[in-house]
Amino acid sequence: MKTLKLKKILIFLSYLIIIFQSVGCSNPNQQDKNKDVRVLAPYNGEELKYRLSKFILNYADMNKAKNSEILLNGKNITEQFKWFGERLLLGGTVNRVMVIDIEKYGKKGVNVLRVTVKKPNSKEFVKEINFTYNPYPESSLFEVRDTKTSNLIPAKLTFEGIDGTPTPNFSNKESFKVFYFNYRSSKGNNIFLLPEGNDNISMSPGKYKVTASAGIFYTCSEKNITFPSDGKIEFFIEKVIDEKKYVPSDFHVHSAISGDCYEIPEDKIRDYACANVRFMVSSDHDKLMDYAPIIKEMGFENRIKSSVGVEFGIGKHNDTTKSTDEEVSNLRSIGHWNAWPLKRDESLDYYGALKHEIDTEPAESYELYREKIWKTFGNNVHGIIQLNHPRGIQFNSTDFIERYHDFFHVNNFDPLKLVPKSYNKDVPNSFLLQTSKSSKTKNIDFDLFELINRSSWKIYKEVRLDWFSLLNQGIFKPATANSDSHSILHDPAGFPLNLVFLEGKDSDVDNFTPDEINAAVLRGRTIGTTGPVIHLSAKNLDSGKEAYIGDTIETVNGGIEINFKIEAAPWINIDEVRLIVNGETLFTYKLEDNNREVMRIEKREKIIISKNSWIIVEAGPKIDDQQPRISKEYKTIAPNFVPMAFTNPIFVTVKN
């Protein structure tokens, strides 16, 4: 035991040494090139931003870190910079990050940045950094327009250097260092966002392949260019799928106030606007982010709505095989859940996020939100608890699965066995019946089940069996598909995506409220997708009554007509469609390899249902494919993802 404590102390001291070295506390005038400041390619043609990351020891109170003075070339710019996030590191260290517009406040050539932090009852912390600003001399105007109307379209451009030209880096991530592990770091970001449909872009002269895209409802356009160009560089794409009946939504979105994400809120909003997502839920780790005022400030309130949420973890993971570092392994929880809607309060710790006990049951946290938060919101608010990545996290379609934050996996959920009627620790799947201290709430009493997380083809095939098992036991947890977006490059907005069906309304932002979205999702009115769009309905052949996803049909004779159609933009390939009843594939439809039509398949099937049942449709690769076929355009727009989709069920009740 003493050896273990000594090991922890030595690990902790080593982190402090690394951090002290990084901030250079011993010599405030030393030049520390490229440690805390990264010289980045221009974010856009008019505004070149540099990032300074500053580490302040032993400041658990975030507000104290603001007591700083910033001088750029001798000019006080303290009021001009903008704090956009903070992250807690090991040893109680606070990393606050600021964005400085060097083009506006700096100068070409060598710049001197001096930061002074006034600590109460302590000496001032002073750091001086020299860096060079050399903007690219050339720029060209890029535009993305609608093929039919020629109107500008919010879009993304993906660049790839060709004929010896390096791929450009528009990254806004390389300025950060996290010392105890390098989480999902990127060597660069070749994506440029055009939320207004056009912008001047500066980069190195050369030849590039550029792909313009605007989410799954649009075509894409690819062309090779020589940069700089004598004139503007235009791309034409068009919407080929009318999504009016669905609201494209993402319920799992991270920003810079999460400890493992480097995207400022403005960039995150731009990313979602360029993917034509209409609704987003913040889900930062144990802190609350409210995108709504930033959306309004940016003038995007007619494009996207948001809700405040949080991602919280419970318990310590017992699997330390993925790391020899005990401290890092202990950061792994037994599961992650999202809770929304919430209200951000900057006067409170963590902006109002609830604190969760480490050694407690998840049911305790469910109850906290329902009793302490949502009851105060009124009867018309639909509070939601979503179980995230039940079997772990897969960072790309072919990579291994990280088995942590994996509530079903770490508790050995067996989809071939029933959830028992009462708790018995020796009976499989009993962990779902463990209760809160009041015994009013069970671990199984979450609301939503995240079926697709990131680019999770391998893990999707595991988690779908868990979901099927619950459905077959009469336990309906509506399934969702979320990006868990930490990075524009690795977790781009719109992959995956929830298409939420609102009866009698369309997806225009003015036509829905966040609570209407929440109510529809709790009802199961959701399709999860990374590309294909599934339309599913069923008709009672006795009465002619029609039902949609989330509905229940009552029948006497069991006669049901199932109607579905699958649409996809031409760059999204689909190999197979499956009609599934009670977890068994009733019909499989093979699609041609070269089919690039928007309407891929449309079917009507009459079947007889003999018992209470549930019906879904899936589209994507063949379910047993280890290496799914993916088009080159899809690989460019959504690298590491697999085009696939599922519906929530239509239920059938047989009266006899």
Entry pTM: 0.82
* Topology, domain 139-237: Immunoglobulin-like (2.60.40)
What is the per-residue DSSP string for 76-145? E-TTT-EEEEEEE-GGG-EEEEEEEEHHHHS-SEEEEEEEEE--TTSPPEEEEEEEEE---S-EEEEEEE
pLDDT at site 30: 29
Q: 3-state class of 502 per DSSP?
A: coil
Q: 3-state class of 372 per DSSP?
A: helix
Give the whole-angstrom CA distance, residue 419 versus residue 1: 39
> Could you count the other beta carbons within 10 Å of the beta carbon of residue 512?
20
**Sheet strands side by side (includes 155-162):** 191-194, 155-162, 206-213, 221-227
Give the whole-angstrom CA distance, residue 116 versus residue 378: 46
pLDDT at site 351: 80
Give the whole-angstrom CA distance, residue 442 versus residue 440: 7
- The amino acid at residue 256 is A
- HSE-up of 270 (CA within 13 Å, CB side)? 20
Give the whole-angstrom CA distance, residue 146 versus residue 144: 7
pLDDT at site 503: 78
Mean pLDDT by groups of 10 residues along the chain of 656 residues:
46 35 30 30 29 32 54 80 41 42 73 71 70 73 96 96 88 32 42 92 90 97 94 96 90 82 80 95 91 92 94 65 37 83 84 79 92 84 93 67 82 96 94 92 97 88 96 97 86 93 73 91 97 96 92 92 97 97 97 90 95 97 90 93 96 89
Domains 2-131 and 139-237 share a fold: yes
Length of the chain counted residue by residue: 656
pLDDT at site 53: 34
In DSSP terms, 236 is beta-bridged to 145
Domain residue limits, the chain: 2-131, 139-237, 246-254+304-654
Report the C-alpha dihedral over residues 270, 98, 173, 459, rounded to 10 degrees. -70
Would you state the structure tokens that stand for residue 389, as one six-digit string?
A: 């990545």
Q: Does domain 2-131 have CATH number 2.60.40?
A: yes
